[in-house]
Structure 1
Amino acid sequence: MKFEVATSKYLDSICEITEQAKAQLRRIGIDQWQKGYPSREIWEEDIEIGRSYILTDEGKVLGAFAYQEIPDASYYEIDGKWLTDGAYASMHRVCVADACKGQGVAGRLFAYGCEKARESGFPSMRIDTHPGNIPMQKALKKAGFQQCGTIVLAEGSEKGDLRIAFEKIIKK
């Protein structure tokens, strides 16, 4: 298995995994990712600017995520308290292929994102998820993220939606 910056040759695979994730969220009865986000166009933009990463095994995409080193507009206000103040990196659009669920792929994605942040000198990693997305909450807690409170999404098709905010302090 290896991580790589996603290129357009992987776009169809990333979109297929995203659709699998959307279907799973629908099955568990939550509206996260049901309003057109994330779209093919968002992944195209991520790929174009080099912020989309994938985990592959023999050329097959197992999981994907977007990595961001600029402040997230949704994280300015929190009902609760972040673990750190100041600079942080964040992960978004984390998704794992259905065939790989339960095999530690999400944990590998979180670990790789945190390692990128550590290498860039960030003290922490932030991420958020829907209050009903229990599988993601469990994966985040297993990966060492701490629940910090709730945020309201500030942009996009899910603007105004409530999310649970998590943060992990990255050891230097």
Structure 2
Amino acid sequence: METVFHIRRAKEEDIEEVVALYEQAREYMAKNGNPGQWVNGYPAQEDVEKDLNRSVLYICESSDGTEGVFMFDIGEEPNYRKIENGCWLNEEPYGFLHRIASAGRKKGVASFCVQWCLTRCSNMRGDTHKDNKTMQRVFEKNGFLPCGTVYMEDGTPRMAYQRERKA
């Protein structure tokens, strides 16, 4: 039987579980060849609270409970203003997602979240660490193309991806 997921906006009472999910994701990445992406406790509770207060934090659920979390917004991502070693596919308005994490119990959570975002904004951008092979596969599997390199506020490089609106 196929798992049915649904997405809802996060609520105040989800904060503790989201923070724990991010901790679990940090441990998973460190053990699976990506020790440098989410370091020094990032994303921290203050990041979660900021996303929640901006109404851009979402929970992916199944009948078994919380399966994933992510931040999704439509607008400008300041870290995407400058791109090197390539270019964005277009300069139209776009959506973007960050801080996606899965509970790891069910397959397809990340792709479901990405597809949900695409139903809200079909022109999407994203980024990931060069060592995050899992997220690179999620982007590529969902029709995103590599576009170049963007830099986070702390100066660390990220692989930039975009999926254009279909005509």
Q: Normalising to structure 2: TM-score of the pair?
A: 0.90
Matched, 1:150 2:145: no
Matched, 1:106 2:105: no
Coordinate RMSD, CA, aligned: 1.4
SS in 2 for 1:86: coil
- Counterparts of 1:121-136 in structure 2, within 5 Å, are 124-136=123-135
Supply the distance in 1 between the matched residues of 2:47 and 2:28 (Cα, whole angstroms): 20
Find the counterpart in structure 2 of residue 37 from structure 1. 42
Supply the distance in 2 between the matched residues of 1:52 and 1:33 (Cα, whole angstroms): 18
* Runs (5+) with no aligned partner, structure 2: none
- Counterparts of 1:50-69 in structure 2, within 5 Å, are 50-58=55-63, 60-69=65-74
2:16 corresponds to which letter in structure 1?
D
Supply the distance in 1 between the matched residues of 2:24 and 2:67 (Cα, whole angstroms): 12
Supply the distance in 2 between the matched residues of 1:29 and 1:63 (Cα, whole angstroms): 19
What's the offset of the Cα at 1:29? 4.2
- Give % identity: 29
SS in 2 for 1:18: helix
Find the counterpart in structure 1 of residue 30 from structure 2. 26
Supply the distance in 1 between the matched residues of 2:134 and 2:64 (Cα, whole angstroms): 26
1:69 corresponds to which letter in structure 2?
I
Question: Residue 112 and residue 22 in structure 1: after superposition, are their counterparts in 2 closer, same or farther (change >3 A)?
Answer: same
What's the offset of the Cα at 1:70? 2.3
* Runs (5+) with no aligned partner, structure 1: 119-123
Matched, 1:47 2:52: yes
Once the two structures are superposed, residues 106-157 of structure 1 have per-residue CA deviations (whole angstroms, 9 ceiling, x without a partner) of 1000001111224xxxxx100100001111101110111111111111x2xx
Q: Is the 8 A contact 1:30 1:133 kept in 2?
A: no
What's the offset of the Cα at 1:59? 6.4
Find the counterpart in structure 2 of residue 84 from structure 1. 90
Q: Is the 8 A contact 2:130 2:158 kept in 1?
A: yes
Q: Is the 8 A contact 2:15 2:49 kept in 1?
A: yes
The runs of at least 4 aligned residues of structure 1 exceeding 6 Å deviation read none
Q: Normalising to structure 1: TM-score of the pair?
A: 0.88
Q: How many residues align?
A: 161
SS in 1 for 2:35: coil
1:137 corresponds to which letter in structure 2?
Q
Find the counterpart in structure 2 of residue 95 from structure 1. 101
